[in-house]
Each structure stands twice: as C-alpha cells, then as structure tokens.
Chain A
C-alpha cells in the first residue's frame, strides 16, 4: 500500500455544532470533493467525526495544497498505512523529520499515538516512547530534541483494528465554516489591499461571496478591471461558484464631480456604490454587503462617513476589517495570495475625481442636498442595465 496515502482532514468549529453538525459536515465533504475534482481515484470518507481522503502517493501534496483553500478545515496531514512495527514506523518518521532537521539545524519533536485497537499489546504512551526513542537514537546528534508541548514536528501514529497509519506534520487549514453553510453576500471589491481580505473573511465564515466592481475605464483604462478579475479569481479558489459583477461607474462619478460639492464627493461616490450594490444584492439573493473599510484609515472611513454611507441601504453591511490596522491587513493579504496583485501600480482617480480636501464628517442633509443636483436614480438604473457578469468558475 506504499503507493496510496491517507489524508486526515480535521475540522474544529463544526465539531462544536449540536444537532445541525451533520449538515455542516456534509457541506464540508461536498466542498472537499469539489476542491479535489480531477484528482484520479480520490475517495472521501466520513468516519467517526473525521474526514479521511484516500489518494495516490503522487497526488498527496497537490491534494493537501488544494485543501488549504477550503474553509472549515482546521488542518490536514498525509498518512501512510503500514505494519504496526516500531522499527518501521521510526524509520518512516526519520525520513520525514530528517530533511526539516537538516534545513533548520535543530528541531523539537514528539510522537503522539492514538490506539483505537485496544487489543494491541502496547499502550499509547509506550508506543510514543518506543518510536520516539528509536528516532532520537538516530537524530539526536543532528539537533533533534523532544518537546511534548512545544513540538515543531508531531509524528502522529494511529493504531486501529484495520490498519496502522503514520502521519506527517499537520498542515494548517483556513478554519472557519464550510462555504455554502451561511448563505450569500456581495462584496465591494476594488484593486486595493483591503477588500480582497474582507471578502475572504466572509468566505471563511461559510458565505458564498460574489463581488461587485465599479469600473471607470474611460478615465483610468482597463488596468483596474483586469486586476480585479485576477483578484476575484484567486478569491474564488477558496469557494467556487463566485460571480463578479462589473458596473460602469464613470457617468455617476462625472455627474457627482460636476454637480456636487467638492468636499463631499468621496462619500457621495460611496453612497452610489452602496445603493447599486444593495439593488444587485437583492436581485442576486445576497443577504448582506461586505466592504474592506477599516475605521479611520482614510477620509471616507470615519464613523460619521461610514454612517452616512450605511444609511442608504436597508441591509447588513459587514466590515470584517473595521478594527484591524494596515499591517495586519497586509499580513493577511500576503497569506491569501492577493497582496502582490493588489500592490501592482494602477492608475488611480485622485487627480480627476478626488477633492483636495475631502470632508471627514459629512452631514447627511448636505449629502442629500448634493444628490438633488444630479439625476442619480436615472444614472443608477443605466449603470445597472450595463452590468457585466463574470462567472469566475468559467475562467479556470
């Protein structure tokens, strides 16, 4: 059986669920099957509150890589089925540990055994000791040490009635809830750093997140659009089934620029974006909007201005980054793979559309007065009629 591998897929939050746990588990299994589509001979089994995947040796790493994109998974490890022989288990363990040890120069490790076959003559603790001491015997001189609590590498051994499995170190997953378990939302996606992170936050809470992009290529070219399509494709790898809606926004921006007070422009743009997003969310059966706003980050993100935009939509607006600082957001953007695209230079609309001194505390009655100066309902209807829908699955 050396040519097959067993993936142990662990979940955490679903385990806390009560009566509806099965629903979440089944959803996760479905998503795992979707993520591993195309890998030949893969079998997913749900056994005693755990999910096991059987794949061939050559597909194991690729499968684990794909599973790191599946929300709801706490960790994955690759196991091999072998005889319950301490020497052989230790030999396998050395093969796993040695390359990491050589790269690092030192490594803390431990063995953790789970023995469900109670007829096996040694206890879990004895097995830990037997395997661990054999490994130490070979690798101590190279810098290996034992640390039960703070191990960098945990070799996991499972001795069951049917087979004995030995697992490589755990690869952390995204955690959270399986996509599809929490309904749909619509995210306002720009080419920046923040909105992809906020989008993923909701995906990892089990939502299917569609995105909406406000495009102004007349002034800024198609670069922003291309960038957002690439970002949306990356984000869709975490969920599948996502759509990107592109709204031509230049006429609205021009109207606001030409007819409204300079200082209020930014908030007025955002009020229009929220209105359009809300209208589209209703049509597409999304139950909330998602934005990448973080309190105080820019002029439009003060408490007053956030209130002034939220009040135009009778729908939940989720702002998962509201309390995060820029560095935290950047770190997350790097880990989800959107950062490098987000920082690519892109023409911004500052010179044309941004006021020199944007208002940080817009008053709603002033904004409403501004909005009486241009036919926003008509422009909004026209923009929505021209929406472009991109089915992100089709791009892969």
Chain B
C-alpha cells in the first residue's frame, strides 16, 4: 500500500502505540479523583502537558486546553471568544471547522469579514490587514498551513502587520496541518491569541488535540460539566490519548529538521516528475494549485495540489485505489460533498478545474520509490481515462 493522504490522517507511530497500549492498561483511574491512582493519572497528564509545552516552545503566557481534536479547538476558541457579537474575520480559505463556526456566528447577526479579495497564492496578502482595522475586527482566523494547498500564512509576518495596521485584532491560527511539518519557534507565540492542534495529523491517535491560548484571555466554555480544565472544557480527561499525543509531539519535534529535509525531497521529486510528464505528453496539462517554491514561509513541503483537466480527480483516485495507492481529493472533511472544494474555487479555479485535481500529502513514512510509483500509475490511469473526458468541454 502507498499512502499519500497524510493531510487527511496519518498512521499511528509504533512508539505512540506502545505508550497508548501501556497507558490504556495502567492509567485507568479518573484524573479528577483524590485517591492515589487518580492523582497518579493527573500527574501523568501534567507530565504530558509539560512535555508538549517544552517541545513546542510554548511560553508560560499561554495555556493548553485538551480537546477532542482540531475542530473542537477551533470551535472552542472562536465561539468562546467571539460569541455572540465580537467581530471576527478570516481569509476565506480555512478548514470547514472555522468556516462553519463563523457561519454559526453569522446566524446571530455577527457577520464575519472575509478577506478573500486579499488572497494571493492561497495566502493572506498583508495589505488586507487595513480592512481589519476598518471593520474593527477583534479576531483574525487563519490556517497556518492550508489543508488543501499546503500554503503557509506566516504567523510572525502577519502579527507584525497586525501590530502596524490593526493593533486591536488578535490572531488565531489553525495549526492542524503545521505541527510536524513546520518549526514552531518560541517567537511565534507572542503574536498568537490561539492555536489549534490535532494529534492524528502527526502519527498520534484520533480523538485528541489541544488549544493553545493566551492565558490573559477569557474563553466561554462550549462544554459545561464537571469543571475540568479550569471550567473551560469540562469532561474527564483521556489520560492514554493525552500521553500518546505527547509522545507523538515529542517525536515530530525531535525529528523536525530531518523530516523537513525528507519532505522537501519527496515534494521536489513529485513536482519534477509531474513537470517532466507535462512536458513530454502533449495532452497532459498540469497546473499546480499549491506553490512550487522552496520557501517554508510560503509553502509546506508536505502537500502538493495539482489539476489535470479534463480528467476528473475522483475517477483517477479510484483507479489509483485499485493499485493500492491512496491519495486525497480536496479536503477529507468535505470530500463526500459533490460540490467542488471551496478552497480551490477561492483561489480562482473553475468548477471543472477544481474537480480535476488531486492532493498528495506526505509524511515522514513516505519514500522516493513511492512517489515514483505514484507518478507512474497516475500517468497510466490518466492515459487510459483521457479519451473518455476529452471533448467533454472540460
């Protein structure tokens, strides 16, 4: 099997699985109880939290709230800060868990500002910051790494621009696709009011993630209950998932240099091979929707998104599936919907161009041989399908 859909999810790392299994066995006590095994469980959560804080360079000005994943962290921060009336903005290319949360606010008369006219190469053009101040937006929500394109909004550049052009606007970033792919140096946190993370995108288990936020801010809870996590997010904490996530974070942070080099090689090999194919085959017209640059401030190496009209992406995906090659089509959260991806349309693709696209997303597990095999099978499938789609006006 060749798995090239790592932006959808990743396989759990063996060391992470060991921690998870061991913890499932030993850490069953409720960390909210006062007897010794409960206290032990709570201590293990604190150790995990400290580990995360340490390897991600999170300063003591910021707090961590464990959640069920990235979607919950996005909901918790945005609603918890801006419901019902605080003005909020986004670029318009965010994951549905941000987009739909803003739509929810809209239903209460809190109309979010979209900066889509300021998108350039799938990123926020810093000129858009002036619109935030004119609109008096209190929060700007952006993807750190776009989930379909892999394009990067650099938090430091954006924070600087906000300080200059709209000092009352705080920055919230969806970091789900960034952890394990980009370095998170200590300097970024000062500019971040909130940041969301999900474990299963970097070889951790599903069902766990966290929100990092500036502890000076107050957040209204979405889930009420036993008052765990300072009342911000009630619910018994899942010790094994948290410990496994901490292990996964530790591994990706320790290997970040090595991983980035590896992803760069995979990315370049794929882009190069596709360009060669494009050159060689007259009826193949590849357009890269993600950026073809070696600049981690603009584009993550982990995602390559490209179109190849007139052949439809989904049909090609199923042909690759027959060869046990698994690739992505738009974002996994909306892949079931028939309408083409809002993100690809947001950067100017037509419906048909958006439909005729694939997203290849790497993890450290992938190899150059797998990329070569993908390109070979992609071309075979394309060649077979081309006559069918030719002349469809696509």
Contacts and interface: CB of A to CB of B under 8 A. Distances in A.
A345 interface: yes
Contacts of A210: none
A352 B312 contact: yes
B314 A347 contact: yes
Given A345-B336, A345-B337, A345-B338, A351 B389 contact: yes
Contacts, number: 33
Contacts of A258: 387
Given A257-B388, A351-B389, A352-B388, A219 B338 contact: no
A221 B318 contact: yes
B335 to A, nearest CB: 10
Given A345-B336, A345-B337, A345-B338, A351 B318 contact: no
Contacts of A30: none
Given A257-B388, A351-B312, A351-B389, A217 B337 contact: no
Contact of A220 (B318, B337, B385, B387): B318
A20 interface: no
Given A257-B388, A352-B312, A352-B388, A219 B319 contact: yes
Residue of B312, B315, B317, B321 ringed by the most chain A CB atoms within 10 A: B315
Given A257-B388, A345-B337, A345-B338, A352 B315 contact: yes
A258 B388 CA distance: 8
Nearest to A344: B336
A218 B318 contact: yes
Interface residues of A, number: 13
Given A345-B336, A345-B337, A219 B389 contact: no
Contacts of A218: 318-319, 322
B336 A221 contact: no
A191 to B, nearest CB: 13
Contacts of B338: 345
Majority SS of interface residues in chain A? helix
Contact of B315 (A257, A344, A351): A351
A221 B319 CA distance: 8
A57 to B, nearest CB: 36
B392 interface: yes
Contacts of A352: 312, 315, 385, 388-389
Nearest to B317: A221
Interface in B351-394: 355, 385, 387-389, 392
Interface in A62-96: none
Interface string A201-238: 00000000000000001111100000000000000000
B381 to A, nearest CB: 10
A181 B385 CA distance: 49
B330 to A, nearest CB: 13
Contacts of A345: 336-338
Nearest to A223: B336
Contacts of A347: 314, 318
Nearest to B384: A254
A344 B336 CA distance: 9
Contacts of B312: 351-352
B383 to A, nearest CB: 14
B389 A221 contact: no
A258 B389 CA distance: 12
Contacts of B389: 351-352
Given A351-B389, A351-B392, A219 B315 contact: yes
A228 to B, nearest CB: 16
Contacts of A220: 314-315, 318
Given A345-B338, A347-B314, A221 B321 contact: yes
27 contacts: A217-B318, A218-B318, A218-B319, A219-B315, A219-B318, A219-B319, A220-B315, A220-B318, A221-B314, A221-B317, A221-B318, A221-B321, A258-B387, A344-B336, A345-B336, A345-B337, A347-B314, A351-B312, A351-B315, A351-B355, A351-B389, A351-B392, A352-B312, A352-B315, A352-B388, A352-B389, A356-B392
Interface of B: 312, 314-315, 317-319, 321-322, 336-338, 355, 385, 387-389, 392
Given A257-B388, A347-B318, 11 more contacts: A218-B322, A221-B314, A221-B318, A221-B321, A344-B336, A347-B314, A351-B355, A351-B389, A351-B392, A352-B312, A352-B388
6 smallest beta-carbon distances between A and B, as pairs: A221-B318, A345-B336, A351-B312, A219-B315, A345-B338, A347-B314
